[in-house]
Chain A
Amino acid sequence: MKVIGKIEYDRYLKGERLPHFRTLSGIEMKEFYDRGDIAQDPSNPGTFPFTRGVYPDMYRGRLWTRRQQSGFGSPLESNHLIHFLLSKGMTGLNIDFDIPTKLGLDPDHPLAEGDVGLVGTSMATIEDMETLFQGIPLDKVSSTLIVNPPYSAIIMAMYYLVAKKQGVDASKLIGTIMNCAITQLVGPTYQSGTHFFPLDPAIKIACDVMEYCLQHSPRWNILNVNPRNIRESGVNAVQEVAFAFCLAKEYIRRLLDRGLEIDRFAPRIAFFASVHIDFLEEIAKLRTMRRIWAHLMKDTFGAKDPRSWMCRIAVQTSSLPLTAQQPFNNIVRAAIQTLAAVLGGCQSVHTTSYDEGYALPTEEAQVLAIRTQQVIAYETGVCRTADPLGGSYTIEKLTDELEGRVLNLMDVIEKKGGFLECFKSQWIEEQLNEARYEYGRQLEEGELIQIGVNMEREEEEELKINIFRQTSDMQEKRIRYIRDYKQSRNGVQIKRVLDKLYHHVRHHPDENFLPAILEAVEHKATLGEISDTLREAYDFKVHYV
């Protein structure tokens, strides 16, 4: 029998109190808010600056997309998982690739073997992409492809070629390529953004992808700056939004420099935000994002098309508040985070699974995540009217307060030369590390409470949940597959297309590389080979001991 701890009667007598009344980003909240706290009533949903939502009817018109991130092991295993999740109520795809793919390494690369297929699907060949999307009509299901440049160019080329094989015209493709050079791996840490490919060429190639997709696929989203990953590296809500928007401005300036009109591409840019556990602040954050973006597009960049003003936000609930201790508590946390995402008016949600602290989610955990969203959508009634919290003194005040803080920080970044300059000088890295140390301190000193970690902790806790397991020979099989694949091809032809790509990059560095990459993929060059060719063309070597 378990010994029950000493009951602290004092605690009941005195009444429990919070350690403080600050939000996660440090806003000191007042005892209560009233009319005097609100500068002005927000405009209606669907009208500029969209604080209350990008559509007038919001979820009455259509519910958000239930878009669970999926992918592990081989493309075939991931294909089965996608079909399973679609059959269980997922309404959009969110394909994650493994780290070797996101770093442009084939499974047989000496650096890759230990990481193949672990946290996403392994993807090296055009055949892999066909397998991944077997039985999935690319004009009927929207896909988010979680991949960074320059590899986003190769993945996009594969996707185009699979669409062609399926008989789906490029103009009919619906979905998103994440395509951000800095935030897509693990947030804006310097080494992750520079170790495997030079930064400026990666951004150039990101813009190539955007330009190509704009020309061929008008319904395709060309860029998804990833505030979520920024947030997951430890910073607060204000930094999350300010960093993401300053980074988005960098891409916009580059597209404008290419002679593209703002209204040609702004409607195809979206964001992938985090929603942490600070319920009110996170709702306010999503509202703030829309307001700032609308003004930025209209006032700074002169966009005239209302679609350019709309900040469309995908959400993945944050993993940071989830704990390995007492994992069932995470089901509660994720439900509250998902509710915040919905009350904040986002366009799609990935609800993070309760087993996050142990491994990739099991199938049962993923289904529970989908069910969580369905309970909120169909049972709670929060979708019956657009922005039900609009006009709440507290929410409106927090929205204003966050807006002011985000704009101030954006100003600081611009004065330092913009996001890229701050990233290259490692100022961003310093901000991340300071935030992490501060997070550690708050948790240690009890300013930040995590139930099961620094409150109500059970020592010697026994884990009662199932844990996801990869099949034991998955990596070995993938490595064998890619070796066989490489041997089965016409080597002369591969050399020819790769040489052509190399010369293209060397001699026409300002042209769009997508056509040459498409040709290489079509002729069976692998993701790693194309990446290596690009590295060589830029005189870049991956450094390792």
Chain B
Amino acid sequence: MQKSKRILIGKVGLDGHDNGIRIVSKWLADAGFEVIYLGLYNTPDGVVKAVLQEHADIIGCSFLGGEHLFYCRKLLALLRQQGLEDKKLVVGGVVPPDDVKVLKEMGVSAIFTPGTMRDTILRKVNELLEED
């Protein structure tokens, strides 16, 4: 079944770099997604609460300061605790190749590093929606 095209986007932790996440939010919105933009300085708890309230299927977070492992681990654990394993976590930002592997093993559905083109992102996000 095709899920709703609602996607929750936000920065988690204290990193305030938001060029990329703003551009990607715009691309998604232009492509017909309903983007709920949470802005900066979200906690993992806050994001999970928002997922419950907003009924989003995909969560997009970006990290540019090296905090990706710490926060993704927390986010995924919280989602599991809430029985929200079916929600897909997508990550963008500055992530070294070794950590891309670690994030994937951890359960992050997609990682978009700098220089990823718009179509690659849209294609992947659409694929995630179609997956059961």
Contacts and interface: CB of A to CB of B under 8 A. Distances in A.
Interface of A: 99-100, 103, 105, 111-115, 118-119, 185-186, 189, 191-192, 195, 232-234, 323-325, 357-360, 433, 436-437, 439-440, 444, 450, 452-454, 463, 467, 470, 475, 544-545
Given A103-B14, A192-B40, A323-B115, A119 B19 contact: no
B23 interface: yes
Contact of A467 (B17, B43, B98): B98
A100 B19 contact: no
Given A192-B16, A444-B117, A450-B115, A118 B98 contact: no
- B14, B42, B49, B94 interface centre (most CB from chain A within 10 Å): B14
Chain B interface residue count: which class?
20 to 34
Contacts of B43: 111, 544-545
A306 B30 CA distance: 52
A258 to B, nearest CB: 30
Interface of B: 13-19, 22-23, 26-27, 39-43, 45-46, 49, 65-67, 70-71, 74, 94, 96-98, 113-115, 117-118
Contact of B115 (A112, A192, A452): A452
B88 to A, nearest CB: 21
Contacts, number: 101
A359 B66 CA distance: 7
B14 A186 contact: no
Given A119-B66, A324-B113, A452-B115, A99 B39 contact: no
Nearest to B45: A545
23 contacts: A99-B14, A99-B16, A111-B43, A114-B14, A114-B67, A114-B71, A119-B65, A119-B66, A185-B16, A191-B39, A191-B41, A192-B16, A195-B41, A325-B115, A357-B113, A359-B94, A436-B22, A437-B26, A453-B115, A470-B66, A545-B43, A545-B45, A545-B46
A48 to B, nearest CB: 37
B46 A115 contact: no
Contacts of B113: 324, 357
Given A114-B14, A444-B117, 16 more contacts: A99-B16, A112-B14, A114-B70, A115-B67, A119-B66, A185-B16, A189-B16, A189-B18, A189-B40, A358-B97, A359-B66, A359-B94, A433-B26, A436-B19, A467-B96, A545-B42
